[in-house]
Amino acid sequence: MAEYKGVMIFAESAGGRLQPTGKELLGCGRKLADELGEELSAVIAGDGIADLAQQAIVLGADRVYIADNPMLKDYQADAYVPMMQSVIRQVSPRFLLLGQTDIGKDLAPRLAFRLGTAAVLDCVELAVDDEKRLLMTKPVYGGNALATFTTDSCPQIAAVRGKVYSPPQPDSSRQGEVIAIAADIEPTAIRTKVIEKVTEAREGIRLEDASVVVGGGRGIGSAEGFGQLKELADLLNGAVGATRPPCDNGWVADSAQIGLTGRIIAPELYLAIALSGASQHVSGCSGAKNTVAINKDAEAGIFNVSRFGIVGDWRKVLPSFTQKARQLLND
């Protein structure tokens, strides 16, 4: 059995550039590799992506494996899993890191089961223990607890949440090796077909990028109610978010859902209106630097994670808040 060594990251790309996830993984991967005293390698897969190898090298990779093949243009498990399997067979990395992305959430578990090892998804912290095993920490029980996992099987696979690690500074003096991987993919082996990809028009700033988010819960009661939140968000150059019930009820788009299985946000200011603060939701907004809550229930959990709060009916509090805020901002 091959000896496992080094850290490998899966670097996603789009439009001829490495995605933020790839850069963040290079930063995180480099730190882990340095702690182990071992190498960092990156895998870049797609169609016409060979030029990206240099980008990965200046960001810290010692070696870049390029799988360039028209069959890898869109992610499909039946193409990507065997491709990764053959790279891993060649390289035998101790750790394999992917992003907690549309691809990562699908590829990481399939690969783990294919290889007979364990993966941990949505990691918010990675560390190395005394026996050179990867310690992977993630929220569980809807965010009520943090669990740290490890495994004795290799490679140890982690899907890392976005924006937890920062991209490294590029160092154009860095040298590295580029190795082409032959991706032998039988077209008949692909059982899924991507019929179309639809980008849903989003109004305004992305929730994940907004520095102010106004979020509403079940207590908002209607789409009209959310109109008031939108008015406030527009005033503060922010975005509107919600817990799951408003999305399920169609008061707001599904893409507005903030939570463990929705958007994870980390704004400067999060205004939480008429939402109780269920753990699954708080998991998605606990990264906010300042949370301010309005809820008529003094016992609402959201107050436990808020810097400021008002116990009261949002229908009375919010219009007055918005009016005053408008006045103050116009001065």
Partner 1 sequence: MNIIVCVKQVPDPEAPPTSFEIDAENKKVTAAGVPLVLDPYSEYALEAALKLKDADGSRVTALSLGAELSRDAVKKALSMGADELILLEDEAFAGGDSWSTACALAAAIKKTGDYDLILCGRQSADWDAGQTGCGIAELLDLPAVTIARKIELSGDKVRVERITDDGYEVIETTLPAVVTVSNEIGEPRYPTIRGIMAAKKIEPIIWKPADIGLEKTGEADRKSKIVKLTKPQRDIECQFIEGETPEEAGARLALRLRQEKLI
Among 217, 280, 284, 285, binds partner 1 (CB under 8 A): 280
Interface stretch with partner 1, choices 59-67, 83-91, 218-226, 297-305 (CB under 8 A): 297-305
CB of 145 to partner 1, least distance (A): 5
Site for partner 1 contains 321 (CB under 8 A): yes
Residues 128-187 that bind partner 1 (CB under 8 A): 129, 135, 138-153
**Residue 218 and residue 136: Cα distance in Å, rounded?**
34
Residue with tokens 């975005």: 239
Among 91, 121, 239, 266, binds partner 1 (CB under 8 A): 121
In the complex, what is the shortest distance from the CB of residue 160 to partner 1, in angstroms, rounded to a whole number? 14
Size of residue set near partner 1 by CB under 8 A: 93
* Contact flags string 213-252 toward partner 1, x per CB under 8 A: -----------------------x-------x--xx----
Backbone angles phi, psi at 9, to 5 degrees: -120, 150
Residue 110 CB neighbours (<10 A): 15
Residue 3 or 130: which CB sits closer to partner 1?
130
- Site string (75-114) toward partner 1, x via CB under 8 A: --xx----------------------xx--xx-xxx-xxx
Q: Which amino acid is at 244?
A: R
> CB under 8 Å to 54, separation ≥6 — which residues?
none
Using the rule CB under 8 A, is 38 a contact of partner 1? Answer: no
287 binding partner 1? (CB under 8 A) = no
Under a CB-based contact definition with an 8 Å cutoff, are residues 27 and 143 in contact? no
- Find the shortest distance in angstroms from Cβ 250 to partner 1: 10
Q: How far is the CB of 39 from partner 1 (least distance, A)?
A: 25
If one counts every other C-beta atom within 10 angstroms of the C-beta of residue 102, the result is 10
Residues 6+ away with beta carbon under 8 Å from 50? 66, 68, 178, 180
Q: Which residues pair with 213 in a beta bridge?
A: 239, 270
Nearer to partner 1, 82 or 170 (CB): 82
Q: Which of 121, 165, 134 is nearest to 25 (CA)?
A: 165
Segment 43-82, which members bind partner 1 (CB under 8 A)? 77-78
Which one, 70 or 312, has the nearer CB to partner 1?
Answer: 312
Q: Give the neighbor-by-neighbor strand order of the sheet with 40-46.
A: 119-123, 156-160, 95-99, 7-10, 40-46, 63-68, 177-180
290 binds partner 1 (CB under 8 A): yes
Provide the minimum distance between the beta carbon of 36 and partner 1 in the complex, in angstroms, as a whole number: 18
Cβ partners under 8 Å of residue 72, min gap 6: 45, 46, 47, 79, 80, 83, 183, 185
Q: Smallest distance from the beta carbon of 136 to partner 1, in angstroms?
A: 9
